[in-house]
Amino acid sequence: MQQRGAPGGRGCALSPVLCVLFFQGVYIVLSLEINADAHVRGYVGEKVKLRCTFKSTSDVTDKLTIDWTYRPPGSSRTESIFHYQSFQYPTTAGTFRDRIFWVGNVYKGDASISISSPTLKDNGTFSCAVKNPPDVHHNIPLTELTVTERGLATMLSSVAFLSVLVFIPSAVVVVLLLVRMGRQAAGLNKKSKAGYKKSSIEVSDDTDQEENDTCMTRLCVRCAECMVSPRQSLCCLSVSLSR
């Protein structure tokens, strides 16, 4: 969900990039618009991205500046955690020291940052401000970050997904192998009932075939026992189909 803030809490009346605000009796033309996610959920210890994009009617120059600020829950105090002007200047003090990283691209209208190793103390409100002279009037979107511990249900879901990723290819390989072996057995039964006798060449070919089937069986059994990776299971599957 994106949030589009505005000075004085008034909304835009025209296009997304060029809009007009009526603020304290004066019409203000916004030629710079900033968008950010209103709510972001993160997990303790897992890097989280705070997305911020902007649209400007002017070309990006070395005068463009980006400022990220943070306000703790229930507090009116704000602190600067990141500044950009041609180069990146993450904060060197406070709780976010050495944990703020630039992941944006000003030439693509991206002013996003990320927070490494987030904790429960990082919960709060973040704001992204962009100025690209002469475009300096802009809205101010706010992002509420909520950091929580990963629940047991989430971890079990991840484990279940990985298990399915491994078991399904292995199961398919085993089923195909059983079907193939059943067809071979049925063919041998028909030949034996008809009194068919094999030549010396066919006997030699059958010996080679049995050796190949033995190797194939061993490989697929390993797939079924989840002793190989999903990629190897798929490889085994492709070999079975080609035979």
pTM of the predicted model as reported, rounded to 2 decimal places: 0.55
| CATH number for the domain whose boundaries are 28-150 | 2.60.40.10
Arithmetic mean of pLDDT, 215-231: 54
User: In the predicted model, is pLDDT for residue 236 greater than 60?
Assistant: no
Alpha-carbon gap, residue 225 to 211, rounded angstroms: 21
Q: What is the pLDDT of residue 171?
A: 73
Q: Alpha helices, DSSP H only, in the chain? A: 152-193, 200-224, 230-242
**Where is pLDDT greater, at 126 or 161?**
126
- Per domain, the residue ranges of the chain are 28-150, 151-181
For residue 13, pLDDT over 90 is answered with no
CA angle 2, 90, 93 (to 5 degrees): 115
Q: What is the pLDDT of residues 167-193, one digit of tens each?
A: 677 677 777 777 777 776 776 666 666
Please list, residue by residue across 60-98, b when 16 or more beta carbons sit within 10 angstroms of its beta carbon and e when fewer do. eeeebbbbbbbeeeeeeeeeebbebeeeeebbeeeebee
pLDDT (tens digit per residue) in 83-111: 999 999 999 999 999 999 999 999 999 99
- On whether the CB atoms of residues 31 and 56 are closer than 8 A, the answer is yes
For residue 16, say if its preceding peptide bond is cis, omega within 30 degrees of 0.
Answer: no
- Per-residue pLDDT, 203: 47
Predicted confidence band of residue 16 (pLDDT cuts 50, 70, 90):
very low
Q: Where does the pLDDT of residue 144 fall: very low under 50, low under 70, confident under 90, or very high at 90 and above?
A: very high
Q: Which residue has the higher pLDDT, 10 or 39?
A: 39
